[in-house]
Amino acid sequence: MTPIRALIADDQMMVRQGFAVLLNAEPGIEVVGQAVDGADAIDKVAELAPDIVLMDIRMPGLGGIEATRRITSSPATAKILVLTTFDLDEYVYEALRAGASGFLLKDASATELAQAVRVVAAGEALLAPNLTRRLIAEFSRLSETAPRSVAKGRTGHLTERETEVLSLIAQGLSNAEIAAHLVVAEQTVKTHVSRILVKQNLRDRTQAAIYAYETGLVRPGSA
């Protein structure tokens, strides 16, 4: 089985090396490189083609959020897992808006870190539970001035069932939970999710969830 290729971007050498040791000790994960800042991360992604980038938010020069935005808008297919010590709403929201697929605090355990890498590399959404609550609160705040009629126009080419699945993704349900809710096979849900991502040009489930909120398909508090 091909290992998950990881790149670690952090301006602190001890943090980079610590994460590298932890991840290299995990089966199926290989750290292929390290970057000292956002600009270096962009270059290393182009050079090494990692599957996932562990991206620090605060770095000198080009920061993690802008680096994430540039990487996810490039031809690179690397997923971004944002790591930070700062449990602040603005960072959660902006990192995900920039294209990050997951968000984890640096005090996570080695097991949680490895699991996060596997989950994000597999295309699933990943948010620490306390950050999920903060993210929804941020959506709620921003939605006060958001248009209320945008959803139909932007999701109109999804089928009724795909729209329903997208709504459930935004509410945080897994494929298995969606399958149970809709009384269908889990493989059917996976097919719907894949079609949603292709039709709406979304990278993964995290971006699908954000899209559902920003188009007004799901309102904060409706979950």
Closest Cα to residue 99, out of 86, 112, 113, 82? 82
In one-letter notation, the amino acid at residue 101 is S
One digit per residue, the tens of pLDDT, for the chain of length 223 reads 789 999 999 999 999 999 999 999 999 999 999 999 999 999 999 999 999 999 998 888 999 999 999 999 998 889 999 887 766 657 777 888 888 888 888 888 888 899 889 988 887 666 655 555 566 666 656 655 555 444 445 666 899 999 999 988 887 788 888 999 999 999 999 999 999 989 988 888 878 888 887 787 776 555 4
Assigned domain for 91 exists = yes
- Are the CB atoms for 137 and 131 separated by under 8 Å? no
**Contact (Cβ atoms closer than 8 angstroms) between residue 98 and residue 69:** yes
Write 136-145 long-range contacts (CB < 8 A, 24+). Answer: 136/220, 136/223, 137/89, 137/220, 138/89, 138/90, 138/92, 138/93, 139/93, 139/213, 139/220, 140/220, 140/221, 142/93, 143/213, 143/216, 143/219, 143/220
> For residue 93, what pLDDT is reported?
76
Give pLDDT, residue 150: 46
**115, 197: one domain:** no
Structure tokens at 147: 């248009």
In a domain, 219, yes or no: no
Residue 115 lies in a domain: yes
Domain count, the chain: 2
What is the pTM (predicted TM-score) of this model? 0.74
Same domain? For 41 and 68 the reply is: yes
Q: Count of CB atoms within 10 A of residue 119's CB?
A: 18
**Which are the contacts of 18, defined by CB distance < 8 A and separation ≥ 6?**
none
Structural domain contains residue 142: no
In the numeric block, which tokens belong to residue 90? 């603005």
Domain that holds residue 165: 147-214
Q: Are residues 194 and 101 in the same domain?
A: no
- Dihedrals phi, psi of 164, to nearest 5 degrees: -65, -45
Q: Is residue 21 part of a domain?
A: yes
